[in-house]
Structure 1
Amino acid sequence: MSTAQPAPAREPAWSLSRSAISLWVAQGVVATVVEALVVAALIVFVPSDAGVWTVLVRWVAPVVVLVTAVVDIGVQPRLRYRVHRWEVTADAVYTLTGWLNRTWTLVPISRIQTVDVNRGLVQQLFGLATVAVLTASSQGTVRIPHLEVEVARRVAEDLARRAEQVRDEAT
């Protein structure tokens, strides 16, 4: 498993669940609320005669929160959905992640040691799960995040079965 391997000739076939967009929007809303509360507290507690700090806190900070909110809620979730892809082929699992820094990761089926399905609290609220493909490599685990629960279960079962078959054939 190495990101140094050449990328496949085409993008992986599958997108994440569309519910991932809602999850990322919800995360953006929560982050925006926290940022707005911090800025509101600063506005209340920074004295009006604090010079440059007054201008920064009262005018610049709210604009920064607004711009961040637009990106976190309106832009980023849809971009992430369009660029995060995954596929399981006869020979490998591969993922394409990142909306600013793109990363191809390929894991040969023969390298798979364990396949897990994880569901964090937020994922549970949106009916999503992550398939974690573990290898013996020092690179660690490859994750296919934000799949519908049933899809994640089927992918994990299929990968575990095929990895076991490859191990059986090798002995």
Structure 2
Amino acid sequence: MSDVGAEPIEREPIVPRPVLREPAHRVSPQAVPFWRVSALIGDTVIVGAAAVAYVVVPDVPGWTIVLVLLVAAAAVAHVVLMPRIRYRVHRWEVTDTAVHTREGWIGRQTRIAPINRVQTVDSRQGALMRLFGLASITVTTASAAGPITVDCLDAETAREVVARLTAITAAGEDDAT
């Protein structure tokens, strides 16, 4: 068999795929002790409730103590591991064109919102966050996925980001509706 007279095979050019880089900035290092204390408060309530239920409820089967101890062990692991993992994963970046975040400690979520879709920029600082000098910003967009939140920024950094986003969005000509 000969390939004489056969049509040449057209191949599509190889186009490199764009690579999404991770956001440039980490959250504040103070996020680690903040997340640890937050987890400790919540987990103490859960373990305490389980222990009280074990003591107060009459005729509890003997195996339930194992369940209470497993809940306590999970709580300790949560308090010890979660803050460091979250700190390594959580990143954020604001540019003149987009807001980019990555978060999670078990699963990962990456969000990118074009600046021209930003509708509001809010900041939040609860009592515990104030104690650690932290604040969070929430960027509401015209997206069904909901707002983008950047948790645990240094309070001064959060103020600067809110001011920058306000200036960038005010300078834009497009309406985010």
Please report the TM-score for the alignment, with normalisation by the length of structure 2.
Answer: 0.80
1:73 paired to 2:79 = yes
SS of aligned partner of 1:114? strand
Aligned to 2:69: 63
Query: Structure 2: any 5+ residue segments left out of the alignment?
Result: 1-16
Compare the two structures and name the one with the higher helix fraction. 1
Q: How has the CA–CA distance of structure 1 residues 7 and 101 changed in structure 2, closer, same or farther, with 3 Å as cutoff?
A: farther
Please say if residues 118 and 129 of structure 1, whose CA atoms lie closer than 8 Å, have aligned partners that are also in contact: yes
Q: Give RMSD over aligned pairs.
A: 2.0
Aligned counterparts of 2:95 and 2:88: Cα–Cα separation in 1? 21
Give the one of 47, 51, 56 matched to 1:45.
56
Aligned to 2:99: 93
Moved beyond 4 Å, runs of 4+? none
Structure index of larger Rg: 2
Task: Give the CA deviation at 1:7.
Answer: 8.9
Aligned to 1:3: none
1:128 paired to 2:139 = no
Give the one of 139, 152, 158 matched to 2:164.
158
Please say if residues 39 and 57 of structure 1, whose CA atoms lie closer than 8 Å, have aligned partners that are also in contact: no
Aligned counterparts of 1:38 and 1:133: Cα–Cα separation in 2? 36
For residues 42-98 of structure 1, what are the alpha-carbon distances to aligned partners after superposition, in whole Å with 9 as ceiling and x for unaligned?
A: 232244xx3xx432332x133213321222211011101111111112311100111
Please say if residues 7 and 104 of structure 1, whose CA atoms lie closer than 8 Å, have aligned partners that are also in contact: no
SS of aligned partner of 1:75? helix
Please say if residues 115 and 134 of structure 1, whose CA atoms lie closer than 8 Å, have aligned partners that are also in contact: yes
Please say if residues 46 and 54 of structure 1, whose CA atoms lie closer than 8 Å, have aligned partners that are also in contact: no
For residues 9-56 of structure 1, what are the alpha-carbon distances to aligned partners after superposition, in whole Å with 9 as ceiling and x for unaligned?
A: 211111111111111111221123212322321232244xx3xx4323
Please say if residues 138 and 147 of structure 2, whose CA atoms lie closer than 8 Å, have aligned partners that are also in contact: yes
Query: Structure 1: any 5+ residue segments left out of the alignment?
Result: 1-5
Aligned counterparts of 2:18 and 2:162: Cα–Cα separation in 1? 23
Aligned to 1:54: 61
Percent identity over the alignment is: 37
Aligned residues: 158
Please report the TM-score for the alignment, with normalisation by the length of structure 1.
Answer: 0.83
Q: How has the CA–CA distance of structure 1 residues 40 and 66 changed in structure 2, closer, same or farther, with 3 Å as cutoff?
A: closer
